[in-house]
Amino acid sequence: MTGSPSYGRVIVWFRRALRADDNPALWHAMHDAASVVPLLCLSEDPSYGQVTPRREFIRTAIIGLDASLRNAGSHLHCRMGSPETELPAAAQAYGAEAVYAVGLHDPGSLERDARIERALRTVGVPFVRFPDRVLRGAGDVMTGSGTPFRVYTPYKNAWLAGADEVAPAVSAPRRIAPVPPAAGSTDLLSPGWPGMHGAAKKDGLARLRAFMTAGAGQYDARRDLPGVDGTSRLSPYLAVGAVSIRRVFHAAREARAGASSGARKGFDTFINELVWREFYYQILTHYPHVMRAPFRPEFAGIPWSADEKSFRRWKDGTTGYPIVDAAMRQLRAEGWMHNRARMIVASFLTKDLHINWQWGEQYFFTTLTDADHASNNGGWQWTAGTGTDASPWFRIFNPLLQGKKFDPKGAYVRRYVPELAGFSDAVIHDPWTANRQEQEAAGCVIGRGYPAPMVDHAEARVRTMAIYRMSGTTASTASASRVRTRSQV
């Protein structure tokens, strides 16, 4: 750190950047202030209520952040309550002259930030935000005519052409001078915070290193198989900011440079997936209406079903389609679901059950450990056909064929739908086709031990086509059939 500090004390408010490494708010605070207070506001006690994978992940990420701050001699200062009231109170209690945080992109957070900014202004404290969540800002990658990209492939090409502009990652501060807790704040490990005790789990940077050394090189061949551990599973760390997106990108680029020519494709595909994330962030920034309505307004009139019972069967993983049920059970058990499976279940909800994608989006958002406004909304709208992919119905996923193609030996289904484990590979994705004797031999009679399919996919498909057609969307299909931007089907 160079130069003389311009502030006596700055609060760094930790939100979706739960890390000390490459944290621009922390880095700038260390540079700008003589003393830094790392602060966390919790609106609810994380030890209270139902233990879910999502709550547990956030809890351990906070423990990990506190541990890394302690390594540097400081620790998290915690306040229970809304940041709108806690930040001004903390600024006064600590005598802080500014509050630093990373910038967020979703409309809800932006509105809240405006309220926080006003509240802090009343106590004379500026609220300063630093770009963090994306590698390249939404305004940095635009079409030649200065408009935002609406289609992934040209966006990706423009993004990759400027990849050298991505800022380097900076290390965690080695030493942060400790500040004693002020009135209204507590230490994370104090007895008043029982939910925060426990060891920090294997951290995200270790996972990143492991994936780059073994895994990323074969990513291209393995990433589409839900039964195989072929993806990085970094998304939860990126969602809460426990790992910096710049660290991930630079690690991939460096590993690619040293990889064999055969492995490079894996790294390239991995980087392309990071660009999908960037793409959805810029869509959210330029078109914030996507959080409440279809990206493409012509799909606003789709007459979705409001069948709560079917929705519940989808959530419970009892649809009778093994690949769908395996995926939904994985989500509930782990708070994470494989990308291929996400597309299959999203297609099933919208195009087999004809239930609004927004119901699915909401359920995912509250259940996923990697819940992210931009990627979740983008993934749902893409699959529902209301978003940046221009093809509403030829991309109807057939759950049976998807299962046979991407889980050919039924490893994924056997893991999450154990009642089907006794069926042979040949029928594990359509166990209802096995005769009674085979079902009994497998230890599971369809209709008793496992449900029969809740809908006939072929009929549902015909209905989907009619629904989209009725919604006046036929005009888009001719061009849509030419825009196969992604090998999804």
User: How does DSSP classify residue 298?
Assistant: G
Interface residue with ligand FAD, options 267, 380, 406, 450 (CB under 6 A): 380
CB of 172 to ligand FAD, least distance (A): 21
CB of 98 to ligand FAD, least distance (A): 31
d(CA 433, CA 427): 7
Q: Which stretch binds ligand FAD (CB under 6 A): 26-34, 196-204, 271-279, 320-328?
A: 271-279
Quick one: tokens of 116? 């926080």
Sign of CA dihedral 276, 279, 285, 287: negative
Quick one: tokens of 77? 């200062």
Kindly tell me which of 40 and 135 has the beta carbon lying closer to ligand FAD. 135
Q: Percentage helix, strand, coil, to 5, in the chain?
A: 50, 5, 40
State yes or no: residue 238 binds ligand FAD (CB under 6 A). Answer: yes
Kindly tell me which of 42 and 341 has the beta carbon lying closer to ligand FAD. 341
Identity of the residue numbered 106: D
Q: Which CA distances in Å does 409 have to 61, 221, 321, 414, 423?
A: 35, 16, 16, 9, 11
- β-partners of residue 248 are none
Q: Which of 489, 402, 16, 32 is nearest to 236 (CA)?
A: 16
The answer to whether 393 and 303 have CB atoms below 8 angstroms apart is no
State yes or no: residue 235 binds ligand FAD (CB under 6 A). Answer: yes
Hey, which residues between 340 and 359 contact ligand FAD (CB under 6 A)? 342-343, 346
Residue 273 is among the residues annotated as catalytic for this protein: yes
Q: What are phi and psi of 373, to 5 degrees?
A: -55, -50
Residue nearest to ligand FAD (CB): 379
Find the DSSP H helices in 125-194. 152-161
Hey, which residues between 414 and 473 contact ligand FAD (CB under 6 A)? none
State yes or no: residue 234 binds ligand FAD (CB under 6 A). Answer: yes
Kindly tell me which of 305 and 339 has the beta carbon lying closer to ligand FAD. 339
Interface residue with ligand FAD, options 74, 282, 356, 376 (CB under 6 A): 376
Among candidate residues 27, 336, 380, 393, the one labeled active-site is: 380
State yes or no: residue 371 binds ligand FAD (CB under 6 A). Answer: yes
State yes or no: residue 379 binds ligand FAD (CB under 6 A). Answer: yes
Binding stretches for ligand FAD (CB under 6 A): 223, 231-235, 238-239, 273-274, 276-277, 280, 339, 342-343, 346, 364, 368, 370-372, 375-376, 379-380, 383
Q: Which residues are catalytic?
A: 273, 276, 304, 339, 357, 380
